[in-house]
Each structure stands twice: as structure tokens, then as C-alpha cells.
Amino acid sequence: MADSHFTHDNATIAYELKGSGRPVAYSHGVPLSRAAVRGLDLFDFDALAKQHRLLTYDHRGHGQSTGRPVTEDYRFENFAADFLALLDELGIDEPLDFTGSSLGADTVLRTAITAPHRLRRLVLMIPPVAWDEVADQAKQWYFDTADIIENNGAAAWRKEAANAAPPPIFADYPKFRFTPDVSDALLPSVLRGVGSSDLPEPEAIAGIQHPVLILAWDTDPLHPVATAEKLRELLPHSTLHVSTTVADVKTWTDRITGFLAE
């Protein structure tokens, strides 16, 4: 099925709505896209369309969506605003289930905080590093990478990134290739915008009353288990599962399907 498009706040968002049943949405991470997530062959979000009306989209500046080279455009709150505008565009009024990975997990949280009536059940996959000095040190990667791209060129960086060692959990998983799906012109702005962002304040997250499934994998400094554990403490109706093998990560599709069936 071909993508549809809508324009919001200086970006054109590519999206797809397919299947039937109760609505569910999936939101990917940075600097990936729907296509890049499919290529990893870890979580099959398309399988959700078997029982649901599935909404997927590429974040502004990613994949088939457009954007402009303005760092502020890629702060977390703007991605969440795009999602709410997309729901309005589609006229989806009934509470939907929302799944998101990394940046997408932040979009799930912000939507639950600002528009709780629009969501039913939440899935947070590999929530990003957040809140403290350790997070600031880890997020320095985004700024350093943006500088490298501007100084050495995106082509050289992409070649180096493709050969970089993955998190140890994926050391023997050849499909875990770092393949950013952001144009060369936008990469520095996207990286700096994300690097200057943080998850919502813990006090705001603690007020979320939805059922939440949190899924994390270990040995990934940009998506540490510590963030997932803190979210489990904050969210009153949440459960946490941590994977230490690729085989266990590949159970996530079934875990999510079961959780959303409740």
C-alpha cells in the first residue's frame, strides 16, 4: 500500500493506515524509519495489522517524511506534536494503543501526558537514556557525530558507522546494521535536536494511568536498562521485561500482541 502524506509545522509526514479493528500506532526511533526497523528483523510491527487498524509513519526528517535543517524542529516535543496532528488529520477519536521504540517511546509518553484520552494501552521499547549526568555524557554522541558529519562529510561517517561495533547483545547478529534513514542535509540538525532533548519530567510520567508494557535490551548505552527500570518505578500500572539475548528480543512481537489483546 502506498503512503499517504500530510503537512504539519514545516514537515510533510509520510504515513500508512492499514488493517481493521481497534486502532494501534507504531512510532520508530532516531535516526531510523519504518523501512530501517523492518530491516533489523527484530520487531515485526506489521504483524499488528492482523488484529488491528495499524497506523505507522516516518518521523519528520526521517525515511519518506521531509523536514528542514533546523535543530529546534527535532526536539522530542515536536515529534509528539506531529503525532497528535496526524491523529486529528485522520479523525481517529477512539482511544488507541500506542507502541514506540527509543524516540518513539518518548512520543508515547508525551502523548499520554498531554492527551491521555486518546490512548488505551502503551508499549515502550528501548526507552532512551534520560535525566542525569550519565545521560548527558551518553547523549554527547549526538553532538559529536553531528560535528563529524559537518567536518568530514556524511558519506565518510556513514561508511564508518556501518562498520562500527553494535551493542554486545547484537555482536553475533549480522542484521543489526546501523543504517540511518535521514538525508545527509538533515542529519546534523536531527542529531543535535534529539541530543538536546530529554524524556518528560518524572513527576509528569508518574501521573500516567494507562497500562504500560516496557521492553528493554541490555548493553546499549543509549538505551540503558536503568531508564526502563526507572520508568517501571514511576508508572503505576507498568510491567518490565529485559532481554539479554537476540532470541528473547524476537519474542517482543508476541509479547506486544498479547498485551494489546487484553
Q: How confident is the model at residue 136 (pLDDT cuts 50, 70, 90)?
A: confident
Task: Answer whether residue 107 shows pLDDT above 90.
Answer: yes
In angstroms, rounded to a whole number, what is the distance separating the alpha carbons of residues 130 and 199? 6
The torsion region of residue 9 among left (phi > 0), alpha (psi -120 to 50) and beta comes to left
pLDDT-wise least confident of 54-63, 129-138, 145-154, 221-230: 129-138
Hey, what amino acid is at 171? A
Count CA within 13 A, CB hemisphere, residue 231: 34
d(CA 74, CA 67): 9
| Separation between Cα atoms, residue 173 and residue 227, nearest integer Å | 24
Q: How far apart are CA 229 and CA 223, in angstroms?
A: 11
Which of 42-56, 58-72, 132-146, 179-193 shows the lowest mean pLDDT across its residues? Answer: 132-146
- Provide the pLDDT for residue 14: 99
pLDDT above 90 (res 138) = no
Beta strands 4-8; 11-19: pairing state: antiparallel
Q: Return the number of other C-beta atoms located less than 10 Å from residue 228's C-beta.
A: 23
Q: Which residues of 133-163 are buried (b: 16+ CB within 10 A; e: fewer)?
A: eebeebbeebeebbebbeeeebeebeeebee
- Look at residue 133 in the predicted model and tell me its pLDDT: 78
Rounded CA separation 178/160 (Å): 10
pTM of the predicted structure, to 2 decimals: 0.97
Residue 1 scores a pLDDT above 80: no
Is 3.40.50.1820 the CATH number for 4-260? yes
